[in-house]
């Protein structure tokens, strides 16, 4: 192990196999025909010496790194805490499954606020060509970084709500539509006083979309949108609790709640329990995500399959990376399904 400081290179293989380095390259990459006999000799040596081409050298000439970056334009803490457990790991897993299979490495990066002086990390990664393409998770309105990559036509796919449809590739469920349909579902059950809990700050596009779906469904039903029926929650159960508390202290209390995420719905349930309210009789409840929580607490919820989003996002990026001519942006919509459980079931009292 003393001399293994110096890795084995293509020259070593060539010498040992008695051929030129081009032939080794052709054989290894299958990029030109090589005599069967020669090929066998070469591969024997490759195996014996544990040869693996140096990625920097190869990348220098091919202009590819085989690195894909998963990026989120937020401080890591915000991203992870907003996403919650399963959400993030599901997304990562979907991405990872595809990249593994196609032999890409996964880089992970986020915006380091506080370092605002330096060039943003993602821009640096692009300029120094440290990655071939990027998956953007949880985009927000302020997207100067995305803009910059976009100007340079850097390959990217947004996994999540996309502000600029038809300009940038994206994969997501249709949060607007789910918001719309969840609300519609409550309207269909006879509710007219329907409140909404945002899954997080409206700065996150996904939150805005869900809210707008809610708003438009109300409007279509001729119901006025009221500010006091909207609560901006966060990723904690307690924000659902506080939302419920806020709604139910109004003069005219809502009879139904469209919760922005399952864990908030759990908070609503908790408040209802403590205050002797029956769900769905006193308060009907519907949510987004359909996580394990929804199942555990019997909450009606619309699926948002993050694994699928990750998988399709990675696939799309790979497609972009391997096709010759650029085509117009593609916006993939992952189907969502409403899983009906007891929390929304009954007609309202009034």
Partner DNA sequence: CTGAAAGCGCTTACAG
* Sheet of 300-303, strand order: 230-232, 194-198, 256-259, 284-289, 300-303, 338-339
Give which of DNA, its own copies, none residue 76 binds (C-beta under 5 to 8 Å, depending on kind): its own copies
Rounded least distance, CB 95 to its own copies, Å: 10
Rounded least distance, CB 43 to DNA, Å: 12
Rounded least distance, CB 320 to DNA, Å: 19
Mask for 137-176, x = binds its own copies (CB under 8 A): --------------xxx-----------------------
State both tokens at 322: 């391997």
Which of helix, strand or coil describes residue 243? helix
User: Which is closer to its own copies, CB of 226 or CB of 238?
Assistant: 238
CB 207 within 8 A of CB 201: yes
Is the bond into 280 cis (omega within 30 degrees of 0)? Answer: yes
Does residue 22 bind DNA (CB under 7 A)? yes
Which of helix, strand or coil describes residue 56? helix
State both tokens at 148: 């910059």
CB 265 within 8 A of CB 287: yes
Rounded least distance, CB 314 to its own copies, Å: 13
Which of 296, 168, 173, 303 is CA-nearest to residue 237? 296
DSSP 6: S
Residues 106-128: b if buried by 16+ CB within 10 A, e if exposed: bbebbbeeeeeeeebbbbebbee
Does residue 126 bind DNA (CB under 7 A)? no
CB 156 within 8 A of CB 321: no
Does residue 325 bind DNA (CB under 7 A)? no
Does residue 36 bind its own copies (CB under 8 A)? no
User: Which is closer to its own copies, CB of 109 or CB of 197?
Assistant: 109
Does residue 322 bind DNA (CB under 7 A)? no
Rounded least distance, CB 115 to DNA, Å: 22
Applying CB under 8 A, among 21, 59, 253, 330 the residue interacting with its own copies is 59
Does residue 329 bind its own copies (CB under 8 A)? no
Q: What is the dihedral of CA 129, 134, 137, 141, to 10 degrees?
A: 70
Does residue 60 bind DNA (CB under 7 A)? yes
Rounded least distance, CB 181 to its own copies, Å: 28
Sign of CA dihedral 240, 242, 248, 253: negative
Give which of DNA, its own copies, none residue 107 binds (C-beta under 5 to 8 Å, depending on kind): its own copies
Does residue 130 bind DNA (CB under 7 A)? no
Mask for 71-100, x = binds its own copies (CB under 8 A): -----xx--xx--xx--xx--xx--x---x
CB 74 within 8 A of CB 140: yes
Please state, in angstroms and as integers, the Cα–Cα distance from residue 131 to each residue in 99, 107, 121, 140, following that order: 13, 8, 12, 22
- Distance from C-alpha of 194 to C-alpha of 247, rounded to nearest angstrom: 10
**By CB under 7 A, how many residues form the interface with DNA?**
32
Does residue 11 bind DNA (CB under 7 A)? yes
Which range touches DNA (CB under 7 A), out of 23-31, 86-94, 142-150, 293-301?
Answer: 23-31
Q: Which residues bind DNA (CB under 7 A)?
A: 6-7, 9-11, 18-23, 25-26, 28-29, 31-39, 51, 53-54, 57-58, 60-62
Q: Which residues bind its own copies (CB under 8 A)?
A: 1, 4, 7, 50-57, 59-60, 65-67, 76-77, 80-81, 84-85, 88-89, 92-93, 96, 100, 105-110, 112, 115, 119, 121, 124-125, 127-130, 151-153
């Amino acid at each position: 192990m003393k001399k293994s400081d110096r890795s084995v290179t293509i020259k070593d293989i060539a010498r040992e196999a008695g051929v030129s380095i081009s032939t080794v390259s052709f054989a290894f990459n299958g990029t030109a025909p090589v005599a069967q006999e020669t090929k066998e000799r070469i591969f024997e040596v490759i195996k014996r010496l544990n040869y693996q081409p140096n990625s920097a050298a190869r990348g220098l000439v091919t202009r590819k790194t085989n690195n894909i970056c998963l990026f989120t334009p937020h401080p890591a803490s915000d991203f992870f805490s907003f996403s919650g457990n399963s959400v993030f790991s599901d997304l990562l897993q979907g991405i990872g499954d595809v990249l593994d299979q196609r032999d890409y490495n996964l880089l992970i990066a986020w915006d380091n606020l506080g370092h605002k002086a330096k060039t943003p990390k993602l821009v640096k990664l692009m300029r120094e060509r440290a990655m071939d393409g990027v998956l953007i998770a949880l985009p927000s309105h302020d997207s100067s970084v995305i803009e910059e990559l976009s100007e340079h036509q850097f390959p990217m796919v947004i996994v999540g709500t996309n502000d600029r449809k038809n300009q940038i590739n994206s994969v997501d469920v249709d949060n607007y539509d789910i918001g719309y349909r969840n609300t519609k579902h409550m309207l269909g059950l006879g509710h007219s006083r329907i409140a909404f809990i945002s899954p997080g700050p409206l700065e996150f596009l996904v939150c805005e979309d869900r809210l707008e779906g809610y708003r438009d469904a109300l409007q279509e039903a001729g119901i006025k949108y009221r500010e006091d029926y909207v609560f901006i929650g966060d990723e904690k159960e307690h924000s659902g609790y506080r939302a419920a508390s806020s709604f139910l202290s109004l003069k005219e209390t809502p009879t139904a709640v469209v919760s922005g995420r399952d864990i908030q719905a759990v908070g609503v349930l908790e408040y209802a329990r403590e205050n002797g309210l029956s769900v769905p009789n006193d308060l009907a409840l519907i949510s987004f995500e359909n996580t394990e929580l929804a199942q555990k607490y019997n909450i009606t919820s619309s699926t948002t399959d993050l694994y699928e989003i990750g998988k399709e996002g990675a696939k799309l990026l790979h497609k972009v990376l391997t096709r010759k001519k650029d085509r117009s942006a593609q916006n993939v919509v992952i189907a969502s399904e409403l899983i009906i459980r007891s929390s929304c079931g009954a007609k309202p009292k009034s």
